[in-house]
């Protein structure tokens, strides 16, 4: 008989609605599983069990993920629960309000088991904060889970929760999805509300979902998506649920592909190229037209992205008197961001939007775009971090992730799919992106790919 954690998130939700398992039994099962992958900064077992008990009886209108355990990234405020933002400067911070993402999870009847690991302010693409052990991929626990949603990905991949939200400003959902063998979905800009902080002024970052299957990720996007009254902008509402989109079978799509890195001059690992080539062949076998194109965003766009990224970091200051608690990379980026004047930042934003427009126009004839997710398989813990030389650290991150940030610049939805493993058993993702607001088509295509080459029953050591 399958263990509870063998079930997908949607299967668990179905079992709850049928009365075959209670939310408390699910929560207790997951809480008994030890965290050996650095998935959590803070676990909340008592709150989780109390919350789970309050969900009975199951209402008639319960959604697909009602009663299902999950976790909240430690960048997202949770009322009454320590929220560190991955920083020692906020090690004892307890907010008195929950943000919109946390509220959406609660409204859906899901049960949070705690706060997942993230690097300081979500900036690096590795998860090695000062407030928790490094997040590692369960496929090889000497190697990184990626970042900044590394804890969320490690939790799902190791079977500590069935599905989890993350956030993505330059690849922070898709990078750990590739490292951990998961589906990682970054939705369209404006799909998920930034209430109540609205601090992301560049349009780069958004919430999103991580799951073992495309349908689990889609179901969580249904939970998270939607506008709030104060939102400055929002994506148009879908015509159907994102989960329902997975049941459509797309035919005859025109899919662009390129393998040239966007933001760094780097040799792409042969395993990542092999994953991309294999995905191309699979898409062609499904009846889609796959076409080679040139890299649609010029290298000149990189400095404008870096300006915006540095200013964003500078907009996340520590509490007074705790500046010395910040990591060297954060201090370096913040100093760089503060060095730009208001007009400098405004010009960079304008330039970034023009680069985005040119890219969107170039890609408009295509239904989807295929690239590798990362330039190499998951690296050893510490391979990118360089406290003595933060600039070298930043350049190493760019070389590791030379494609993901392009779709943050354009605002396009993008998903990393676990279609490949190296001979030594490390997962390697491939990435599909679609036109803005076309998550439904992207999910339909991803579900079609998963049906043709399923991966959900492949588990890491210790599962």
Catalytic positions, written as ranges: 73, 148, 172
Cβ proximity of 142 and 148 under 8 Å: no
Secondary structure class of 256 (helix, strand, coil) = strand
Q: Does residue 40 sit in helix, strand or coil?
A: strand
List the Cα angle 97/168/303 in 5-degree steps. Answer: 120
- Encoded tokens for 391: 């600039």
Contacts 24+ apart (CB under 8 A), 249-253: 249/444, 249/448, 250/288, 250/367, 250/441, 250/444, 250/445, 250/448, 251/287, 252/287, 252/288, 252/289, 253/283, 253/288, 253/289, 253/367, 253/368, 253/441, 253/445
Query: C-alpha distances in angstroms, 242 versus 71, 181, 225, 239, 437?
Result: 21, 22, 10, 9, 11
Q: 322 with 302: CB under 8 angstroms?
A: no
Residue 84 to residue 47: CA distance in whole angstroms: 18
Smallest CA-to-CA distance from 176 within 129, 118, 226, 120 is with 118
- Vertex 173 angle, CA 171 and 178, to 5°: 90
Could you tell me what percentage of the chain is helix, strand and coil, using 3-state DSSP and rounding each to the nearest 5?
A: 35, 15, 50
Q: 162, 163, 157, 97: which is closest to 127 by C-alpha?
A: 157
Virtual torsion, Cα 155, 76, 407, 259, nearest 10 deg: -30
H or E segment to which residue 209 belongs: strand 206-211
Helices (H) and strands (E) in the chain, counts: 15, 11
Enumerate residues 6+ apart whose C-beta is below 8 A from 226: 104, 192, 193, 237
Partners of 210 in the β-ladder: 164, 184
Task: List, in sequence order, every beta strand (DSSP E) within 238-287.
Answer: 254-257
The order of strands in the sheet holding 163-168 is: 163-168, 206-211, 183-186, 414-421, 427-434, 368-372, 254-257, 289-292
């Amino acid at each position: 008989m399958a263990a509870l954690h063998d079930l997908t998130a949607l299967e668990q939700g179905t079992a709850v609605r049928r009365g075959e398992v209670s939310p408390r039994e699910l929560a207790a099962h997951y809480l008994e599983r030890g965290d050996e992958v650095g998935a959590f900064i803070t676990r909340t077992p008592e709150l989780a069990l109390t919350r789970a008990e309050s969900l009975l009886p199951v209402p008639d209108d319960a959604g697909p993920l009602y009663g299902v355990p999950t976790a909240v990234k430690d960048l997202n405020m949770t009322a009454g629960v320590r929220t560190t933002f991955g920083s020692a400067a906020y090690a004892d911070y307890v907010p008195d309000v929950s943000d919109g993402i946390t509220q959406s999870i609660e409204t859906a009847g899901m049960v949070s088991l705690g706060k997942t690991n993230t690097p300081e302010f979500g900036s690096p693409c590795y998860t090695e904060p000062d407030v928790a052990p490094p997040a590692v991929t369960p496929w090889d626990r000497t190697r990184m889970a990626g970042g900044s949603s590394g804890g969320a990905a490690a939790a799902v991949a190791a079977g500590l929760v069935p599905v989890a939200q993350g956030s993505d400003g330059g690849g922070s959902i898709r990078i750990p999805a590739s490292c951990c063998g998961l589906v990682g979905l970054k939705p369209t800009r404006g799909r998920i509300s930034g209430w109540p902080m609205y601090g992301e002024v560049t349009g780069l970052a958004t919430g999103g979902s991580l799951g073992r299957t495309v349908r689990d990720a889609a179901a969580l996007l249904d939970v998270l998506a939607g506008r709030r009254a104060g939102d400055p902008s929002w994506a148009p509402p879908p015509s159907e649920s994102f989960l329902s989109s997975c049941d459509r079978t797309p035919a005859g799509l025109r899919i662009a592909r390129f393998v040239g890195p966007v933001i760094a001059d780097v040799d792409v690992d042969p395993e990542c190229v092999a994953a991309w080539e294999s995905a191309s062949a699979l898409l062609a076998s499904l009846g889609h037209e796959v076409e080679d194109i040139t890299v649609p965003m010029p290298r000149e766009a990189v400095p404008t992205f870096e300006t915006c990224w540095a200013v964003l970091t500078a907009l996340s200051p520590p509490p007074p008197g705790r500046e010395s608690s910040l990591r060297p990379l954060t201090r370096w980026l913040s100093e760089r961001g503060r060095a730009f004047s208001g007009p400098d930042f405004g010009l960079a934003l304008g330039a970034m939007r023009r680069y985005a427009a040119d890219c969107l126009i170039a890609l408009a004839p295509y239904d989807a775009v295929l690239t590798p997710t990362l330039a190499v398989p998951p690296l050893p813990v510490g391979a990118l971090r360089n406290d003595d030389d933060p600039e070298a650290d930043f350049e190493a991150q760019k070389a590791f992730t030379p494609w993901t940030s392009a779709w943050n610049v354009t605002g396009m939805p993008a998903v990393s799919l676990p279609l490949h493993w190296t001979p030594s058993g490390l997962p390697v993702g491939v990435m599909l992106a679609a036109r803005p607001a076309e998550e439904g088509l992207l999910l339909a295509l991803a579900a079609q790919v998963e049906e043709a080459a399923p991966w959900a029953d492949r588990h890491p050591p210790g599962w």
